[in-house]
Chain A
Amino acid sequence: MIALKYYISSTKNELIKLKRTFAFWLTIISGLFIPLIYFLYYSLKYKSLIPVEGVNPWDKFMVEQIRAAAPLLVPFFIVLITSLIVQIEHKSLGIKHLFALPVPKWSIYFGKLTVVLLTIITAYILFLFFILIVGYSVGLMHEELNFFSFTPNFSESIKLLFRSFIATLGIVGLQFWLSFRMRNFIIPLGIGMILIVTGLIIYRSEESLYFPYGYNMLSLFPIDKDMENLLWFPRVSIYSLLYFSGFSILGYLDIKRKNIT
């Protein structure tokens, strides 16, 4: 399986390139951001947050944080991390070198895309991990919050996180293509920002089901019945995956035949 070998070595190299970069730190900071705010919130305002007898405090605690990340944090993180990771290559004038190596061009493109996905998954895992740490920490500080009397409801929060992650893929495909194509990192960033804001404005309309920048909201704040039954793969997830495959393939075909100057 020579193709697999190319793919693995390319992905491995992309991981080495992440060392000591801002992209690496951004992944950690993004995972930590909301739990940190909730740490302050719960440790300062705990009196108003004491749950009613018999209610699991984790449910509200976890779902609220996951939902808080949806409108801005997650999409901005996607746009930023994608640009940053590809920028490592542009900054070092690397693409001309990589495309003159005896390796297939697809292994370069998809190796890098894989690492973008890995950083996003890492950010999600860290997010969940920090939520738990913060929950137990505030629980330790204020026993009456009951965090130690109940166990976190993992199945629901993991399902929400999973839906949120899948919903981001449509943007990843497009942003990655744009970032790879343009040496100037401001352009994909600007386009991304504008489309995210557009997504926020229109996500309540029916048509937003076709606009990937609103998918993260749609995946967590469903607007139609089909989505309310918390499936693993609601319609928006399927569309997101379709966009992702479409943009990734188109992006690769475009980059492959592009003149590298």
Chain B
Amino acid sequence: MSQLIIETENLNFSYTKERKDIENLELKVPKGSIYGFLGPNGSGKSTTIRLILNLLKKQSGNVTLFGEIFNANTRIKSLSKVGALIENPSLYGHLNALENLKIAVNYRQNIASERIEEVLEIVKLTQAKEKKVKAYSLGMKQRLGLAISLLSNPELLILDEPTNGLDPKGIIEMRTLIKELNEKYGTTIFISSHLLNEIEKVCTHVGIIRDGKMLYQDTVKSLKQSKSKNMIVELEVDSVKKTIASLEKINKKNTVLEDSFLQLEVGSKEEITFLIDLLRSENVNVYQIFIKNNLEELFLSLTEN
């Protein structure tokens, strides 16, 4: 395995005594990866990010960033290589985008002021740079937040729900940007999200969290393979009754979803052709048949009891 940029060992944290919010979390984010941190709302994604950045005091365990244990002595050195966008971006509404960026440049030493125009260009806000942030839409604020985290050309970019509030076009642009940063500059990107398809489209690695516990952590590729033995397909037919009858003949279990939709499991793609032939021979009209995203199934089965 290549070098790890973020590594947590035995991380524990609770807001209250009654409940553990993060339990023995072992996070491993390899260098150069796009790591999707996936989990339903309230599963501890933001809490984990805050623990990584030391905004919350962990009860036990270690956080290692760039191969060094994160503590008071390494804090400034490590953070100087990190750009973070934590939940709702921190922006001064009474100032414009330029002033907001200027403040961020002042805090981090050694950033050339030309960089401001560059990042504005990257997130496509050059036109709106003189406008007060108060008047920005949620998506624009999100993009400005991203611009601020990009100012220092970070080695590690931490994005907490980056597509929140973005429109479909904005989501696609964000996805392209993330891939580009990763490919061009080798930036390691850590994204948290509760949307599976978002993670699936862009990430190389995935970690799934529920109730503060890591349920699964590996590459997206092996996640897909782990479930590829069986596929779930959904089909639309004219008569559900006839279909069920035909399926019973070959002992195929199925679930009726709604009106004319059925769902069943098949072992391989060849089996789909076989099914169609079977149904057609019984005079069932098949209107559509499609393979369900099995990651989604996995995600749901992992995150729901």
**CA of A5 to CA of B89, assembled, Å:** 26
Partner of B108, one of A12, A94, A102, A259: A102
Binds B, one of A70-78, A85-93, A188-196, A209-217: A85-93
Q: A16-B95, A102-B77 are in contact. List 9 more A-B contacts (CB 8 A).
A: A9-B107, A13-B106, A94-B92, A100-B55, A102-B79, A102-B108, A259-B55, A261-B15, A261-B50
Binds A, one of B80-88, B121-129, B172-180, B194-202: B80-88
Q: Which of A1-54 contact B (CB under 8 A)?
A: 5, 9-10, 12-13, 16-17, 19-21
B residues less than 8 Å from A257 (CB atoms): 57
Contact A100 B80 (CB under 8 A): no
Residue ID in chain B nearest A108 by CB atoms: B107
B residues less than 8 Å from A97 (CB atoms): 84, 86, 89-90
Known: A13-B107, A99-B55. A19 touches B77 (CB 8 A): no
**CA of A20 to CA of B88, assembled, Å:** 23
In the assembled complex, B252 has its CB within 8 A of some CB on chain A: no
In the assembled complex, A103 has its CB within 8 A of some CB on chain B: yes
In the assembled complex, A96 has its CB within 8 A of some CB on chain B: yes
Q: How many A-B residue pairs have CB under 8 A?
A: 80
A-B contact pairs, 22 of them (CB 8 A): A5-B109, A10-B107, A16-B95, A16-B99, A16-B102, A17-B103, A19-B99, A21-B94, A92-B90, A92-B91, A94-B92, A95-B90, A98-B90, A99-B55, A100-B79, A102-B76, A102-B80, A103-B107, A103-B108, A104-B76, A259-B56, A261-B15
Contact A101 B108 (CB under 8 A): yes
**CA of A10 to CA of B50, assembled, Å:** 22
Residue ID in chain A nearest B85 by CB atoms: A97
Q: Which residues of A approach B to under 8 Å, CB–CB?
A: 5, 9-10, 12-13, 16-17, 19-21, 88, 91-104, 257, 259-261
**CA of A117 to CA of B77, assembled, Å:** 31
One digit per residue, 1 when the CB lies within 8 angstroms of any chain A CB and 0 when it does not, for chain B 130-170 equals 00000000000000000000000000000000000000000
**CA of A19 to CA of B96, assembled, Å:** 11
Known: A9-B107, A13-B106, A17-B103. A260 touches B56 (CB 8 A): yes
Q: Which residues of B approach A to under 8 Å, CB–CB?
A: 15, 50, 53, 55-57, 75-80, 82, 84, 86-95, 99, 102-103, 106-109
B12 to A: closest C-beta gap in Å: 14
**CA of A16 to CA of B107, assembled, Å:** 12
Contact A17 B56 (CB under 8 A): no
B residues less than 8 Å from A88 (CB atoms): 92, 94
Chain B contact surface mostly: loop
A104 to B: closest C-beta gap in Å: 7
Contact B90 A93 (CB under 8 A): yes
A residues less than 8 Å from B50 (CB atoms): 96, 260-261
Contact B79 A261 (CB under 8 A): no
A216 to B: closest C-beta gap in Å: 30
Contact A17 B107 (CB under 8 A): no
Contact A100 B53 (CB under 8 A): yes
Contact A100 B84 (CB under 8 A): yes
Partner of B76, one of A13, A93, A103: A103
Contact A16 B80 (CB under 8 A): no
Most B Cβ at <10 Å: residue of A21, A93, A96: A96
B97 to A: closest C-beta gap in Å: 13
Contact A260 B55 (CB under 8 A): yes
**CA of A93 to CA of B56, assembled, Å:** 15
Partner of B79, one of A12, A92, A101: A101
Known: A17-B95, A19-B94, A20-B94. A96 touches B55 (CB 8 A): yes
